[in-house]
């Protein structure tokens, strides 16, 4: 993988392990309903879903929106989304390959721009948010949903080190304070924030990225060391004889000023 860019690594990972990113973590109806309620009314809106994956969030917004466009960097994920679209008969949803850092849309094209569980993969977050700003209409909304790092910089660094080892396409899990700063720099006023938690078993979390055995052992050792000392802020513990931990998922809704 020497010489591959982060974007190429992301495409390789999601092409190889796309099925792992189409499971209940992404399709959970309770979470999708919670996100839709947090985003606010979407009746008649035009929505852009960035890094749409298999399209679950796009389909949820499409229940009320006039039109939803779902984009993804990876062709294999778009194909999965298209197959689900055919099953659901979602005629107001369009999927296409595109890069968040160079969106193929005119200025002020969307009322809501959303991105779920993917911001930590973006190599240039300021560029991504500037593009979201550009395609968002005045008074429109930008919604970022992602795992967050603890505010303690040492714990945040330890967590990001584990994530980067597990997933070569990982760039950075942001602290809530970092999200606020990024939004402000890109011209958004944060209207509200909310949080929910997601539990993972260590082995299942590793299976999602499917690292080689050497990396798997190293990351497992790092996570298991957190059983004795909270090094990563994930409340690492044993449950049913397995190592379990909890990610704090942040939802940040900005309004274009």
What mean pLDDT is reported for the chain? 93
Write a three-state SS string for 195-239.
EEEEEEEHHHHHHHHCCCHHHHHHHHHHHHHCCCCCCCCCCCEEE
pLDDT, tens digit (0-9, with 9 covering 90-100), for 105-123: 999 999 999 999 999 999 9
Residue 245, strand partner residues: 200
Residue 177 lies inside a defined structural domain of this protein: yes
Q: Is the pLDDT of residue 87 over 90?
A: yes
Residue 163 lies inside a defined structural domain of this protein: yes
Residue 232 lies inside a defined structural domain of this protein: no
Q: What is the 3-state composition of the chain as percent helix, strand, coil, each rounded to the nearest 5?
A: 45, 25, 30
Average the pLDDT over 172-181 and give the result: 98
Say what the pLDDT of residue 257 is: 84
Chain CA centroid to CA 29, Å = 16
Residue 216 lies inside a defined structural domain of this protein: no
Helix intervals (H) in 144-212? 153-166, 176-185, 202-209
- Tokens representing residue 110 in the block: 């969307």
Q: What is the CATH number of the domain that holds 126?
A: 3.40.50.150
CA distance 49 to 67: 11
Question: Which residue, chain included where needed, has tokens 């690492």?
Answer: 236
The CA-based angle 229-234-237, given to 5 degrees, is 65
Residue 225 lies inside a defined structural domain of this protein: no
Residue 219 lies inside a defined structural domain of this protein: no
Residue 210 lies inside a defined structural domain of this protein: no
Residue 228 lies inside a defined structural domain of this protein: no
Average the pLDDT over 168-183 and give the result: 96
In terms of residue numbers, what domain contains 35? Answer: 6-199+247-256
Q: For the residues of 15-51, what is the DSSP string, one character each?
A: HHSGGGGSSHHHH-HHHHHHHHHHH---TT-EEEEET
Average the pLDDT over 6-15 and give the result: 65
Please give the tally of structural domains in the chain.
Answer: 1
């Amino acid at each position: 993988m020497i010489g591959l860019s982060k974007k190429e690594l992301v495409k390789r990972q999601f092409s190889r392990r796309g099925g792992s990113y189409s499971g209940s973590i992404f399709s959970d109806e309770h979470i999708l309903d919670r996100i839709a309620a947090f985003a606010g009314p979407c009746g008649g809106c035009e929505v852009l879903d960035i890094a749409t994956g298999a399209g679950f969030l796009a389909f949820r917004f499409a229940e009320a929106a006039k039109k939803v466009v779902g984009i993804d960097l990876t062709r294999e994920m778009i194909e999965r989304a298209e197959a689900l679209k055919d099953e659901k008969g979602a005629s107001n949803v369009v999927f296409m390959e595109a890069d968040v850092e160079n969106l193929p849309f005119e200025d002020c094209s969307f009322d809501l721009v959303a991105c779920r569980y993917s911001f930590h993969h973006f190599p240039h977050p300021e560029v991504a948010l500037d593009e979201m700003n550009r395609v968002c209409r005045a008074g429109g909304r930008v919604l970022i949903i992602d795992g967050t790092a603890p505010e303690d910089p040492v714990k945040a660094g330890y967590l990001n080190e584990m994530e980067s080892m597990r997933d070569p396409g990982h760039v950075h899990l942001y602290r809530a304070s970092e999200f606020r700063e990024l939004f402000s720099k890109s011209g958004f006023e944060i209207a509200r924030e909310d949080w929910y938690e997601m539990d993972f078993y260590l082995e299942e979390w590793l299976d999602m990225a499917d690292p080689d055995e050497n990396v798997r052992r190293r990351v497992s050792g790092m996570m298991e060391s957190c059983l004795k000392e909270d090094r990563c802020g994930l409340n690492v513990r044993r449950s049913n004889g397995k190592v379990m931990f909890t990610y704090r998922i942040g939802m940040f809704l900005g309004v274009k000023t």
